[in-house]
């Protein structure tokens, strides 16, 4: 069972290539996890991006490759490994949110 | 020498390497009323492919016999059916020589009064069309899973549902699954509707191949210890064949099978009854599926009418428009036959713009919708976007078409 906490959207992959996209959100950061069709079932995997939201809507975000979590698109071949990463990312996003609050705010 | 180990007459479970006390999975299940299965039993959410969703549906469908010939992208599902046969959830299963043989054999099985399942994809469906088009007139409640793919040259194995247009006027019940969840629910509903005594027709559940069959999605399933009641072959519009007393007559009304002597009156009245039975099936689909359509944002000025995977893309377009404060309606068509004429009309009767996205070159759904709305609504119906041959339909494409449509029709 995939982690349901902070899961704000489950949708058909908007690229139109089939498959499902899950969007997790914690404060201003989150994860996009997509699995797409593969010719062999055992090749199906998750492609995961760390994302940064632009506003309060769930589909307005950009891919973020500048965190310590990931500097590229990540691949997970099992739900278990994806869940472990999601849990780790939640902790990181909590800390990141606190750190960002300490930065000087733009006027 | 039946039931003796090693007998070529009748192989037993022991011959298959199973323990002597092995009990087929199907015999451990409890048959429940279909309404209880659809609406009352608790459901557990799995995250599985469309092929696996079909397997879980078949597991609960009390299938007596499955016959199929492999073709991409159907093969995966029927491989899963093989596992069910091994586990004892499907009583008989074999791979036929090709599709004409498959669809002729499954017709014979269904005429004998047992619940019969087959599956195919694009070119396989086209190869077997002669046999398939004989099913409704023979009143055989066969269930066929159809994983749509390209049929026209240049040939490809990618999703494209043009093949559905060839079945529209055969008298077969047709459902179009949007996603993995539908590919679990629809076959069960189709079986129950098709076997009603005032229906007794074959049913095809189509799904857009690969996008759904070979990708994972959330599917809520009922506990596997429950299954549908068995088919009662005698409760049927035409009697089942008595295969234990050959030679069996394939029809109660012998002239029906004698093409040289058949009267056109007989043919026409028989066919009228087939298509009347299609319409009568609507009440059962409403009962099992809740309705023939799903309507999102009723009363909107802009509407998208779609079936299959196009619904998923349209659903996301509707959601994104909602984020921008624009209300766009969506009609998801679940049953293509019976076609939900009044439901569609009621949903879009006040709409200004009606967009019909499709995954095929023919635009068959657009034609169907036009034929039922002609002269009844003032809304402008636009044919598109249409993609085919495996092309994708990104959400942005639907959003762009909507934007253009608003400029064209103020």
Q: Where are the domains of chain B?
A: 25-227, 293-408
Confirm whether B25-227 and B293-408 share one CATH topology: yes
Residue B190's CB: how many other CB atoms inside 10 A? 30
Contact B322/A at CB under 8 A: no
Q: Reply yes or no on whether the pLDDT at B175 is more than 90.
A: yes
Backbone angles phi, psi at A99, to 5 degrees: -65, -40
**Over residues B267-292, mean pLDDT:** 95
| Total count of residues recorded for chain A | 107
pTM as predicted: 0.93
B193-227 confidence digits (pLDDT tens): 999 999 999 999 999 999 999 999 999 999 999 99
Q: Which residues of A58-88 are buried (b: 16+ CB within 10 A; e: fewer)?
A: bbebeebeeeebbeeebebeebeebeebbee
The residue among A18, A20, A43 with the most chain B CBs within 10 A of its CB, best to mutate, is: A18
HEC sequence for B277-317: HHHHCHHHHHHHHCCCEEEECCCCCEEEEECCHHHHHHHHH
pLDDT at residue B258, as a whole number: 61
Residue A107 lies in a domain: no
User: Could you give the number of structural domains in chain A?
Assistant: 1
Q: Reply yes or no on whether the pLDDT at A54 is more than 70.
A: yes
pLDDT at residue B403, as a whole number: 97
pLDDT at residue B16, as a whole number: 82
Q: Do the Cβ atoms of B315 and A12 come within 8 Å?
A: yes
What's the CA gap between A32 and B402, in Å, rounded?
A: 26
Option in A10, A16, A35 nearest B215 (CB): A35
List CB contacts (< 8 A) between B315 and chain A: 11-12
Contact B321/A at CB under 8 A: no
Residues of chain B with pLDDT > 90, as a percent, come to: 83
CATH superfamily label, B25-227: Thiamin diphosphate (ThDP)-binding fold, Pyr/PP domains (3.40.50.970)
C-beta separation of B121 from B51 below 8 A: no
Residues of chain B with pLDDT > 70, as a percent, come to: 93
Residue A81 lies in a domain: yes
**Over residues B335-345, mean pLDDT:** 98
C-beta separation of B405 from B383 below 8 A: no
Q: Reply yes or no on whether the pLDDT at B266 is more than 90.
A: no
**Over residues A46-64, mean pLDDT:** 93
Q: Do the Cβ atoms of B215 and A57 come within 8 Å?
A: no
Residue A46 lies in a domain: yes
Q: Reply yes or no on whether the pLDDT at B6 is more than 60.
A: no
Q: Do the Cβ atoms of B214 and A12 come within 8 Å?
A: no
Q: Reply yes or no on whether the pLDDT at B269 is more than 70.
A: yes
Residue A2 lies in a domain: no
Q: Which residues pair with B118 in a beta bridge?
A: B144
Q: Give B327 to chain A, closest Cα distance, Å.
A: 16
CA B357 to each of CA A11, A98, B285, B343, B366: distance values in angstroms, whole numbers, following the listed order: 18, 45, 24, 19, 8
Option in A11, A20, A57 nearest B323 (CB): A57
Mean pLDDT of chain B: 92
Q: Which CATH architecture has domain B293-408?
A: 3-Layer(aba) Sandwich (3.40)
Residue A1 lies in a domain: no
What's the CA gap between B361 and B177, in Å, rounded?
A: 19
| Domain assignment of residue A52, given as a range | 7-100
């Amino acid at each position: 069972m995939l982690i349901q906490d902070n899961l704000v959207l489950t949708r058909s992959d908007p690229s139109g290539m089939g498959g499902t996209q899950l969007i997790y959100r914690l404060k201003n950061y989150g994860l996009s996890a997509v699995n797409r069709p593969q010719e062999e079932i055992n090749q199906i995997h998750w492609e995961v991006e760390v994302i940064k939201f632009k506003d309060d809507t769930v589909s307005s975000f950009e891919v973020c490759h500048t965190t310590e979590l990931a500097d590229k698109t990540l691949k997970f071949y099992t739900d278990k490994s994806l869940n472990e990463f999601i849990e780790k990312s939640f902790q990181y996003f909590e800390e990141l949110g606190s750190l960002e609050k300490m930065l000087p705010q733009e006027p | 020498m039946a039931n003796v180990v090693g007998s070529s007459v009748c192989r037993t479970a022991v011959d298959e390497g199973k323990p002597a006390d092995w009990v087929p999975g199907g015999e451990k299940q409890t048959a429940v009323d279909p309404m209880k299965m659809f609406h009352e039993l608790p459901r557990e959410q799995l995250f599985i492919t469309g092929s696996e969703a079909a397997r879980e549906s078949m597991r609960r469908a009390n299938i007596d016999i499955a016959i199929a010939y492999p073709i991409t992208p159907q093969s995966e599902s029927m491989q899963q059916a093989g596992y069910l046969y091994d586990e004892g959830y499907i009583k008989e299963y074999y791979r036929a020589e090709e599709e004409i043989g498959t669809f002729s054999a499954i017709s014979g099985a269904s005429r004998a009064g047992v619940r019969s399942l087959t599956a195919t994809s694009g070119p396989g469906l086209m190869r077997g069309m002669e046999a398939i088009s004989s099913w409704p007139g023979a009143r055989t409640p066969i269930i066929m899973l159809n994983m749509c793919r390209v049929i026209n040259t240049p040939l490809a194995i990618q999703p494209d549902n043009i093949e559905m247009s060839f079945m529209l006027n055969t008298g077969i019940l047709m459902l179009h699954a949007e996603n993995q969840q539908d590919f679990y629910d629809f076959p069960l509903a189709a079986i129950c509707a098709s076997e009603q005594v005032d229906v007794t027709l074959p049913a095809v559940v189509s799904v857009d191949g690969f996008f759904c069959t070979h990708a994972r999605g959330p599917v809520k399933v009922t506990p596997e210890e429950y299954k549908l009641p068995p088919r009662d072959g005698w409760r049927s519009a035409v009697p089942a064949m008595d295969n234990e007393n050959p030679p069996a007559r394939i029809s109660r009304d012998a002239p029906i099978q004698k093409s040289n002597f058949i009267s056109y009156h007989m043919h026409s009245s028989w066919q009228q009854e087939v298509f009347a039975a299609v319409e009568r099936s609507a009440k059962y689909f409403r009962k099992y599926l809740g309705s023939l359509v799903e309507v999102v944002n009723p009363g909107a000025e802009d509407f998208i009418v779609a079936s299959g995977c196009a619904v998923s893309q349209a659903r996301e377009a509707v959601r994104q428009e909602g984020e921008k404060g624009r209300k766009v309606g969506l009609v998801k068509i679940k049953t293509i036959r019976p076609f939900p004429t009044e439901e569609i009309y009621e949903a879009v009767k006040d709409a200004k713009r009606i967009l019909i996205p499709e995954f095929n070159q023919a635009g068959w759904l657009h034609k169907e919708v036009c034929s039922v709305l002609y002269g009844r609504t003032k809304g402008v119906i636009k044919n598109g976007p249409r993609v085919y041959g495996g092309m994708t339909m990104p959400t942005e494409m639907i959003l762009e078409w909507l934007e253009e449509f608003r400029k064209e029709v103020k």
